[in-house]
Amino acid sequence: MQPVDFTTLKAACGELRANWLPARTEQVFQRDRYTIAIALRTMKRRDWLDISWHPQATRICIGEPPPRIPDTFTFSQQLIHQLGGLALVAIDFIAPWERVVDLKFARRPGEEALYHLYVEVMGKYSNAILTDARNEIITAAHQVSQQQSSVRPIQTGQPYEPPPKLTGTIPSLGKSQARWQEGVSLIPGGIKRQLLKSYSGLSAALLDTMLLTANIATDTSTDALTGDDWDRLFACWQKWLQTLETGKFQPAGTENGYTVMGWAEVAPANNIQELLNQYYTDQLRQQLFSQLRHQLSQKLQNILGKLGSKAQTFKDRLQQSDQADEYRQKADLLMAHLQNWQPGMKEIILADFETNQPMAIALQPDKNAVQNAQKLYKQHQKLKRARAAVEPLLWEVQTEIDYLEQVEAAISQIDQYQTAADLQALEEIRDELIGQKYLEALEYRSRSTTDRASTNFHCYRTPSGFEVLIGRNNKQNDYLTFRVAGDYDLWFHAQEIPGSHVLLRLEPGKVPEETDLQFTANLAAYFSRARQSDQVPVVYTRSNRVYKPKGTKPGLVVYKQETIIWGQPGIIRNS
C-alpha cells in the first residue's frame, strides 16, 4: 500500500484549505480503531473529513458519510465534547517539510485557536493528538507511556512535543544542477537509493514516478547515468519543487497506486480528496476482505473436520448395530436346537433356517444353552437401542455438515475482491456464522446496519432477455427465494450440491425458451461447489413450491414438483 508522503500531504491540505476553511464542526464519528470522521459545514456544503492514523494508510482527506451504527469509541466522544460547534479556522504544517498537520479550532474565524488537533503522518508511528491553546494534551488516539518511549511520551496532561526534527538535507529550488548532481553522485549507487539517502521529503512512490518520467530505471547506478539522463531527471526534480511551491498538483491514478504530480498517469482524478479516499478505501477493503476470507475459511475447515470425525464415529456405531439381527438369528437357532448343546462347548454349528447353510455360534463354556441364547438376545436388544439413539445424532450432525458446506461453497464463490459488494457479502456470511454461534461476536466488530440481507445479487440476462438473480450467501439466498421471488418465477439449484439459489424472473404469461432454461441451469451449476465439473444435475421448480421448514438453518430449503436439467458450468467459466 502506497504511504502518504509529504508531497501528497501538502497537496491534500492545500485543497482542503482552499475549499473547507472556515468550516463548522458538527459531529465526530469514529469509523474504526484508526479513523475518525469530522462533519464539517461551510456556507456552500457539508461533508466528512477523514483523519486516519492507520499504520499503512495514514491520511487526511474528505471521505464518505459514516455508517448508521453506534459509535462506541471514547476518542471520538472526547473530540466532539471539545470541538463541537467550533470552527476549523486553519490547516497548517508545524514546520517546513514536516509531515505533521495542525488543525486549529476557534469559536469563530479570526479568533485565537482554542484547540489544536495534530495529525502526525509517520507510518506506524502515526497519531492524532488534541491539545488546548497552551498545547497541553487533552486526548490522543494512541497514548505512549514513559516505558514505551523515554524520548517522546504522549500522555494526557503532558505538554505536546513535536516529533524529532528532520536530519536529512532539505530539497531547495535554488540549488544548481551541478551542485545537486554532485551531492547525489558523491557515493556511487542506485539512483533511487541515493536520492532517498541524500534528501528528506522524498518517498519511494514519488521517485518511482519521477524516474519513470525521466526514462531512467530505478536501479540504474549514478555512474551509469549520461548527461542527458541527469538533465531529464533534474528537470523532473525542479518540476516537483515548483509544484510544491505553486500548489498546482495533478492528481491521478497510476498502475500501482496514485500520484499528485501527473507523472505515470493512468486515470486522471477529479480532485485529490476523491483520489485519496478511493485509493485507501479500496486498499483497506481489499486487505480486510483477504483477512476475513482466510479467517472464515480456516474456521469452517476446523469445524467441518471435527464434525466429519463425529459423523464417522456415529456411522461406525450404526455399522456395528447392523449385526443386531445376526445376534437374534443365532439366539433363535440355539433355542431351536437345545438338544444339540453339550456342557463345556465353546462353539456350536447349526444349519440356518432359511439357507440351510452351517452357521457357527460362539458359546461361553460356563453357561448352558439357554443362558447363551439369553446373552445373544441381550446383545441384539442393546444394538437395536444403539441404532435408535445414534440415527438422530447422525442426522443432526449431517444436517450441520450440509449447512456449513453450503456456507463454505458461498465463500469459495467470493474468491477475490473486486467491489465493495464482495466485502459486504463476506461480512454477511460472518454475521450469519455469529448468529448461528459458530463465531464469537467479540472477535469481530460488525459493520452491518441491519439484519436484512443486502440485495447486491449477481445479475445476468438470458438469451431472451429475462433477468437472472443469484444469491451470494445464505442470507441473500433466503431473501431472494422468499422475499424477492414472485409466483411465476423459476427457482434453480444444483441438485444435492452446495451452491447458490438462482432465480429466473418471469412475468405472468411469459414462457422461457429452452435456451433460457439451459442458460440459467449453467449459472446454477457454475455458482455451486461443482463449478469445475463438466456436467452438473440442476433442479428447477416454481418459486412458490420452495419451502423452508421451521427451525431450518439459513440457506437450506425443501422443494417439490421439480424438474432436472443438466447444467454445464464450463460454458459460463469460459465465457
* Residue type at position 255: E
Average pLDDT value for residue range 318-339: 81
User: Distance (Å, rounded) from C-alpha 392 to C-alpha 385?
Assistant: 12
The answer to whether residue 153 sits within a structural domain is: no
Is 187 found in the same domain as 62?
no
Is 46 found in the same domain as 136?
yes
User: Distance (Å, rounded) from C-alpha 281 to C-alpha 314?
Assistant: 49
pLDDT of residue 523: 96
Average pLDDT value for residue range 319-326: 74
Average pLDDT value for residue range 303-331: 84
Half-sphere exposure of residue 473: CA atoms within 13 angstroms, side-chain side = 22
Confidence of residue 19 (pLDDT cuts 50, 70, 90): very high
Query: For residues 432 and 474, is the Cβ–Cβ distance under 8 A?
Result: yes
Q: Over the stretch 516-569, which tens digit does the pLDDT of each residue have?
A: 999 999 999 999 999 999 999 999 999 999 999 888 889 999 999 999 999 999
The answer to whether residue 203 sits within a structural domain is: yes
Instruction: Indicate whether 101 pLDDT > 70.
Output: yes
Grid cell for residue 129: 493528538
pLDDT of residue 449: 43
Q: Over the stretch 73-99, which tens digit does the pLDDT of each residue have?
A: 999 999 999 999 999 999 999 999 999
The answer to whether residue 136 sits within a structural domain is: yes
Grid cell for residue 514: 429452452
Grid cell for residue 151: 524520548
The answer to whether residue 404 sits within a structural domain is: no
| Boundary residue ending a domain (140, 156, 189) | 140
* Residue type at position 407: V
Residue 516 belongs to domain spanning = 458-573
Q: Over the stretch 431-463, which tens digit does the pLDDT of each residue have?
A: 999 989 898 875 554 444 445 567 889 999 999
Grid cell for residue 121: 503522518
Query: For residues 40 and 266, is the Cβ–Cβ distance under 8 A?
Result: no
Which range has the worst mean pLDDT, 322-326, 371-375, 504-508, 567-571?
322-326
Whole-model pTM?
A: 0.78
Confidence of residue 34 (pLDDT cuts 50, 70, 90): very high
Comparing C-alpha atoms, which of 251, 157, 160, 233 is closest to residue 191?
A: 233
Say which CATH number the domain at 198 has: 1.10.8
pLDDT of residue 446: 46
Confidence of residue 46 (pLDDT cuts 50, 70, 90): very high
User: Distance (Å, rounded) from C-alpha 153 to C-alpha 137?
Assistant: 11
Number of domains in the chain: 4
Instruction: Indicate whether 30 pLDDT > 80.
Output: yes
Is 190 found in the same domain as 135?
no
Query: For residues 154 and 142, is the Cβ–Cβ distance under 8 A?
Result: yes
Query: For residues 254 and 264, is the Cβ–Cβ distance under 8 A?
Result: yes
Strands 35-41 and 467-470: unpaired
The answer to whether residue 419 sits within a structural domain is: no
